[in-house]
Each structure stands twice: as C-alpha cells, then as structure tokens.
Amino acid sequence: QLQASGGGLVQAGGSLRLSCLASGGTFSNYVMGWFRQAPGKEREFVAAVSRSADNTYSGNSVKGRFIISRNSAKNTVYLQMNSLKPDDTADYYCAAARGQQYNSAYYYQQEDDYDYWGQGTLVTVSS
C-alpha cells in the first residue's frame, strides 16, 4: 500500500516536499517513482529512484528542479519540488515497481513498469 501526502497550494517559485509511505512489502525490493496528471492531460513521468537509492532519473520537464529520494528506514520516498511553476499543477502519484530486470531508475519511466500505485496528492501552483 502506498500513501502519498504533502500536496497543497504554493506560489510560483516556491517549494513543496511530497512524501509517500509504503507498507505491506519489503520497501528495498522496489524501484520507486513519481508521476503526475494535470487536468485534461495524460499521466506524465516525473522521477524514479533505484532500490538502493544509488541512482535516480527525472523527466525533462522537472530536471534540475525536482529531486527524488528515499529513506529505507522509514519506508518512504520523497519528491522535493523547487522553483515551482503553474505548469507543475497536477495530481501527483507515487508508484512501486518490482523491477527484477533492471536496477537503473532510467528504465522506469512508463506507467506499465509499475505494479502498485498510491492515491494522488494535489499540488496547485498559483502565478
């Protein structure tokens, strides 16, 4: 089970940190990712982190602004979002992938790569 939190309303240029608590499995067995979906748009890959947190990969639209990380002691994955823009407004979803074939986060950019999904947490960025 994945429980996302931390969404809210923020002004453009501000920051937010999303959290996703995982339960019911061995956290370190999963590649973790964040996706987002804006109204009227398809779900978009945001970022992923490998099982051991030794590598991450971010989508082009957030590269250099968003940072994904994980804390295995807390079974939690984070998304630190900086320099937020109105275009970042969306529901943000965390997801977990068994990912037995690859360890690199680069290979986990598609929704079909993931086995479990949390509920969304809404981020609204005002201009």
Residue 114: pLDDT over 90 = yes
DSSP of 67-111: EEEEETTTTEEEEEE-S--GGG-EEEEEEEE---S--SGGG--SG
123 close to 88: Cβ distance less than 8 angstroms = yes
If you ran DSSP here, which 8-state letter would residue 51 be given?
T
- The predicted-structure confidence for 91-101, as pLDDT tens digits, reads as follows 999 999 997 78
pLDDT at residue 95, as a whole number: 98
Residue 43 binned pLDDT confidence (cut-offs 50, 70, 90): very high
pLDDT band at 38 (very low <50, low <70, confident <90, very high): very high
CA-based nearest residue to 15, from 85, 76, 110, 117: 85
| In the block, residue with structure tokens 């999963």 | 30
pLDDT band at 62 (very low <50, low <70, confident <90, very high): very high
Average of per-residue pLDDT values in the chain: 96
User: pLDDT band at residue 6, thresholds of 50, 70 and 90?
Assistant: very high
Is the confidence at residue 105, as pLDDT, over 90?
yes
% pLDDT > 90, the chain:
94
